[in-house]
Amino acid sequence: MPETIFLQRQQQFSHAERVAQKKHNRLAFWRLVWFIGSVLVIWLLIQIDQQLAAVAALLVGITGFLILLKKHQQVKRERDFNHHLAFINQDEASRLKRQYLRPETGEQYASPTHSYTGDLDVFGKHSLFRLLNRTHTHEGQYRLATWLNAPANPDTIRLRQEAVTELKPELNWRQEIEALAYLKETVNRSPDALVKWATAEAEPLPGYLKIIRFLFPAITLSLFVAWLLGYLPGSGVLFGLAIHGLVLSRLSARAGEVSEQTVDISTALKAFQDLFQQAERVAGDSVRIQAIRQALTAGSHSASTIIGQLSRLTEGLNYRRNPYFYLLFGVATLWDVHYLLRLEDWRNKYGADISGWFDALGELEALNSLAGFSYAHPAYATPDIVDDALTLDFVQAAHPLLAPDRSIGNSLTFTGNGQTVLITGSNMSGKSTFLRTVGANVVLALAGAVVSAERFWCSPVHVFTSMRTQDSLEESTSSFYAELKRLQTLIGLTKQPKAIPVLYFLDEILKGTNSADRHRGAEALIRQMHQTTAAGFVSTHDLELGQLTDADGFVRNFHFQSDLNNGELVFDYKLRDGICESFNASQLMQAIGIEMGEVQK
């Protein structure tokens, strides 16, 4: 069972983290001992007039300290890596209960005017995005959100499904790429500024800079040595530095611009190097996996190697942001010149490739999200995407945002344009949840994910919903008018030429007006939709609507019901054929204290 595996792995990595923490503490102690011991030895050698030995002790002390520091950093990375792996498995186990530890909700990708994301909880605190998301980079989150925002074509969906099938069993690889991303929080920053710099057409740097970047510092260093030996006044050295300052002043604006464009992501480039290296190791022969591996190259070089070069270059250039370093070392060495030339050379060679690398990594992260979701839910079905006319056929489909042990499955076969499934039922019986169940699973299927069902057939459709329409004080609109605006959007979608069929979900249609107008308007809309390629689901309390339209052959009636058992309402949330014959509004009103008896008489 996935939950057992996740909990076992959480314990395993938590133990490894504790072991690494003990190593970390010991190394911290020995670093301190080494530092204090080195200082004491050097001081004692100086006291006994052993300057040469003191210098040797200083070199040994510095070397030993740096070795211990490097080892300390390695152990710290090992500790943090295991900490993140433990958290990833804890998060996976929590998701099975539909509890979320990661803070990302995807709400930045939500739009109030989108055709379905608001009603189907695609983004938000309890959403499909949060259930699926195992991405960490900006491009990965954007790619996953894009897949949930719009249906892919059948061939694309099948290619994603193939890649997910290959990634699904690669649990170690999948979790390791996540843990690597956690090592640097800045990996979630947008690389747009870096890509803009890498792909921009910039005026070439003057060719003479390639000569003077070595010549001028060599001359100035010679002047400095001459001053130390007493052959030259200090003004000669100052003159050399002034020439350096003049050269740097002409490049200052350009160096500052490049620094601004790279500083935000330069701290993450080392982490990206590890991520690209892990991505390059992804196993699989599916079309998309092979394409991603191919995209992470530039000639004979791998993206990770080239990103590593860029990491060192941007880190080096941005030392200029430290004023003390710049004054004491940057001016004398013509630091900006060296790094601008090297960055210019890097950009000329690889600038055109960098956007593709981030796109490939983002796609791999999105596929990893779908694979992780599939691994965690082995009973969920991989949808069959059909190219025929509008088709929706599912067995025991349940709401994916409900924990599997709390969800109720229902089955339905639905084919053909212009068809409407009319659902009646009592309050709280499950009508709205059923509409969201079908809609959410369709969204998952058309994104390439597994769905909460035993079997699921689906054709490409444009999902449209009208469920949570609300009034707006800011726009001076009532909830009824807000629903009319939504329905106007639906009508517009059905008139678009060469568009895929619309699959609509309308909950309590036209609920904001009187019963006579509601009936006439709902029937007119259903008949109008019958003349288009659209089809869908309508929930209503209007029994007459079901009776009038059922005879026309393009409306099928289903219902949910409630039963009164020992004074308590009981719901089984099972879909049944036909129109609902019993409603519970009176019982619910009586339950809160409204005396219905006199009215009924």
564, exposed or middle or buried, with CB in 10 Å at 0-12, 13-18, 19+?
exposed
Q: At what angle do helices 234-280 and 303-317 cross, to 10 degrees?
A: 150
Q: What is the mean pLDDT of residues 313-339?
A: 82
Provide the pLDDT confidence category of residue 430 given band limits of 50, 70 and 90. confident
- Which positions ≥6 away from 21 have C-beta within 8 Å? 79
Q: What is the mean pLDDT of residues 155-171?
A: 96
Q: What is the DSSP letter of 388?
A: S
Nearest partner of 2 among 389, 287, 538, 376, judged by Cα: 376
Provide the pLDDT confidence category of residue 302 given band limits of 50, 70 and 90. very high
Q: Which CATH number fits domain 384-600: 3.30.70.980, 3.30.1490.20, 3.40.50.300, 3.20.20.80?
A: 3.40.50.300
Question: Which has the higher per-residue pLDDT, 197 or 473?
Answer: 197
pLDDT at site 136: 94
pLDDT at site 566: 64
Residue 476, pLDDT above cutoff 50: no
Tracing tokens 């039963």 back to the chain, one arrives at 563
Provide the pLDDT confidence category of residue 541 given band limits of 50, 70 and 90. confident
pLDDT at site 438: 96
pLDDT at site 552: 62
CB 370 within 8 A of CB 427: no
pLDDT at site 371: 97
Nearest partner of 288 among 421, 464, 152, judged by Cα: 152
Question: Which has the higher per-residue pLDDT, 266 or 493?
Answer: 493
CB 350 within 8 A of CB 190: no
CA distance 347 to 108: 32
pLDDT at site 471: 44
CB 339 within 8 A of CB 278: no
Q: Would residue 113 be called left, alpha or beta, if left means φ above 0 and alpha means ψ between -120 and 50 degrees?
A: alpha
Q: What is the DSSP letter of 326?
A: I
Q: What is the mean pLDDT of residues 115-128?
A: 94
Q: How far apart are the first and last CA of the chain?
A: 58
CA distance 401 to 135: 19
Supply the CATH classification number for the domain 115-376.
1.10.1420
Angle at 58 between CA 57 and CA 60, to 5 degrees: 60
Q: In 318-430, where does DSSP find H-type helix?
A: 323-325, 331-333, 335-350, 354-376
Nearest partner of 144 among 317, 443, 381, 367, judged by Cα: 367
CA 38 to chain centre: 49
At 488, the amino acid letter reads Q
Provide the pLDDT confidence category of residue 414 given band limits of 50, 70 and 90. confident
Q: In 495-560, where does DSSP find H-type helix?
A: 515-530, 543-549
Q: What is the mean pLDDT of residues 295-320?
A: 87
441 phi and psi angles, rounded to 5 deg: -70, -35
pLDDT at site 548: 59
Q: pLDDT (tens digit, 9 = 90+) per residue, 571-580?
A: 778 888 888 7
Q: How many CA atoms lie within 13 A of 560 on its CB side?
A: 24
CB 501 within 8 A of CB 390: yes
pLDDT at site 134: 97
161, exposed or middle or buried, with CB in 10 Å at 0-12, 13-18, 19+?
buried
Nearest partner of 204 among 343, 4, 52, judged by Cα: 343
Strand partners, 503: 463, 535
Strand partners, 546: none
Q: At what angle do helices 431-447 and 154-167 cross, to 10 degrees?
A: 80
Residue 473, pLDDT above cutoff 50: no
Average pLDDT over the chain, rounded to an integer: 86
Provide the pLDDT confidence category of residue 247 given band limits of 50, 70 and 90. confident
Residue-wise DSSP of 439-495: HHHHHHHHHT--BSSSEEEE---EEEEES----BTTTTB-HHHHHHHHHHHHHHHHT
Angle at 305 between CA 301 and CA 310, to 5 degrees: 115
CB 368 within 8 A of CB 134: yes
Tracing tokens 């259903």 back to the chain, one arrives at 526
Strand partners, 569: 564
Long-range contact pairs involving 33-38 (C-beta distance under 8 Å, separation at least 24): 34/61, 34/64, 34/65, 34/68, 35/61, 35/65, 38/62, 38/64, 38/65
CA distance 347 to 341: 10
pTM higher than the cut 0.75? yes
CA distance 214 to 208: 11
Q: What is the signed CA dihedral for 517, 437, 562, 469, rounded to 10 degrees?
A: -30
**H or E, element range at 313:** helix 303-317
Q: What is the mean pLDDT of residues 332-340?
A: 85
Q: How many CA atoms lie within 13 A of 496 on its CB side?
A: 12
- Among 221-230, 465-474, 554-563, 586-595, the range scoring the smallest mean pLDDT is 586-595
Rg, Å, the chain Cα set = 33
Cβ atoms < 10 Å from Cβ of 185 = 12
